[in-house]
Chain A
Amino acid sequence: MSGAVATAEPIGRRNWLKPSIARERRWALWASYIVLVFFAIGFLAPPYFELVTALKTSQQIGSGKDPWFTAHPYFGNFIGIITNPDFQTFFLNTVKVTLIVVVLTLAMSILAAYALARMRFFGSHAFATGVFLTYLVPESLLFIPLFKVLSFLHLINSTWCLVLVWPTLSVPFCTWIMIGYFSSIPKELDEAAMIDGASHLQMLWKIFIPVALPGIIAATIFAFTVCWGDFLYPLAYLFTGKQMVLTAGIVSDLIHGDVLDWGHIMAANVVASAPPVIIYAFLMDYYIAGLTAGATKG
Chain B
Amino acid sequence: MAQVTLRKVSKSYDQHVQAVKAIDLDIADEEFVVLVGPSGCGKTTTLRMIAGLEEITDGEISIAGELVNDVPPRDRDIAMVFQNYALYPHMTVFDNMAFGLKLRKFPRAEIKQRVDEAARILDIGTLLARKPKALSGGQRQRVAMGRAIVRHPKVFLFDEPLSNLDAKLRVQMRTEIKKVHQAVRTTTVYVTHDQVEAMTLADRVVVMNHGVIEQVGPPQELYHNPLTRFVAGFIGSPAMNFVPCRLETVGNQLMLRLTDEIRLPVPSSRVDRYSPYKDHNVLVGIRPEHLTELKDPAKPNVVRFDAHLDVTEPMGMEIMVHFRINGTELCGRIDPSVRAEAGEILPMSADLNHMHLIDADTGRVV
On chain B, the residues within 8 Å of A207 by CB distance are 88
Write the A188-212 contact mask toward B (1 if CB under 8 angstroms, else 0): 1101111111110010001100110
Residues of chain A at interface, number, CB under 8 A: 24
**Contact assessment for A298 and B87 in the assembled complex, using a CB-CB cutoff below 8 Å:** yes
Residue B86, interface by CB 8 Å = yes
**Contact assessment for A194 and B74 in the assembled complex, using a CB-CB cutoff below 8 Å:** yes
Chain A residues with CB under 8 Å of chain B are 186, 188-189, 191-199, 202, 206-207, 210-211, 213, 293-298
On chain A, the residues within 8 Å of B140 by CB distance are 298
A-B contact pairs, 14 of them (CB 8 A): A188-B86, A191-B80, A191-B82, A192-B80, A194-B73, A195-B53, A195-B73, A196-B74, A198-B103, A206-B99, A293-B133, A295-B89, A298-B84, A298-B140
Q: A191, A198, A199, A294: which contacts B89 (Cβ < 8 A)?
A: A294
- A198 to chain B minimum Cβ distance, whole angstroms, is 6
Residue B78, interface by CB 8 Å = yes
**Contact assessment for A202 and B53 in the assembled complex, using a CB-CB cutoff below 8 Å:** no
Query: Taking CB as reference atom, which chain B residue is nearest A187?
Result: B86
**Contact assessment for B86 and A192 in the assembled complex, using a CB-CB cutoff below 8 Å:** yes
Q: Report the Cα distance A9→B2, complex, angstroms.
A: 80
On chain B, the residues within 8 Å of A294 by CB distance are 89, 133
Q: Report the Cα distance A195→B89, complex, angstroms.
A: 17
On chain A, the residues within 8 Å of B103 by CB distance are 196-198, 202
Q: Report the Cα distance A196→B140, complex, angstroms.
A: 17
**Contact assessment for A197 and B86 in the assembled complex, using a CB-CB cutoff below 8 Å:** no
Query: Taking CB as reference atom, which chain B residue is nearest A207?
Result: B88
Query: Taking CB as reference atom, which chain B residue is nearest A293?
Result: B133
Q: Report the Cα distance A191→B151, complex, angstroms.
A: 16
Residue B104, interface by CB 8 Å = yes
Q: Report the Cα distance A293→B90, complex, angstroms.
A: 9
Give the residues from 67 to 86 in chain B that come closer than 8 angstroms, CB to CB, to chain A: 72-74, 78-80, 82-86
On chain B, the residues within 8 Å of A295 by CB distance are 89-90
**Contact assessment for B133 and A211 in the assembled complex, using a CB-CB cutoff below 8 Å:** no
On chain A, the residues within 8 Å of B37 by CB distance are none
- B162 to chain A minimum Cβ distance, whole angstroms, is 14
Give the residues from 43 to 100 in chain B that come closer than 8 angstroms, CB to CB, to chain A: 51-53, 72-74, 78-80, 82-90, 99-100
On chain B, the residues within 8 Å of A202 by CB distance are 103
**Contact assessment for B89 and A192 in the assembled complex, using a CB-CB cutoff below 8 Å:** no
Q: Report the Cα distance A188→B133, complex, angstroms.
A: 17
On chain A, the residues within 8 Å of B51 by CB distance are 191, 195
Q: Report the Cα distance A298→B133, complex, angstroms.
A: 8
On chain B, the residues within 8 Å of A293 by CB distance are 89, 133
- A119 to chain B minimum Cβ distance, whole angstroms, is 14
On chain B, the residues within 8 Å of A192 by CB distance are 80, 82, 86-88, 147
Known A-B contacts A188-B82, A211-B88; A197 and B133 likewise in contact (beta carbons under 8 Å): no
Known A-B contacts A189-B86, A211-B88; A195 and B133 likewise in contact (beta carbons under 8 Å): no
Q: Report the Cα distance A294→B90, complex, angstroms.
A: 10
Known A-B contacts A196-B100, A293-B133; A191 and B74 likewise in contact (beta carbons under 8 Å): no
- A180 to chain B minimum Cβ distance, whole angstroms, is 18
**Contact assessment for A298 and B74 in the assembled complex, using a CB-CB cutoff below 8 Å:** no
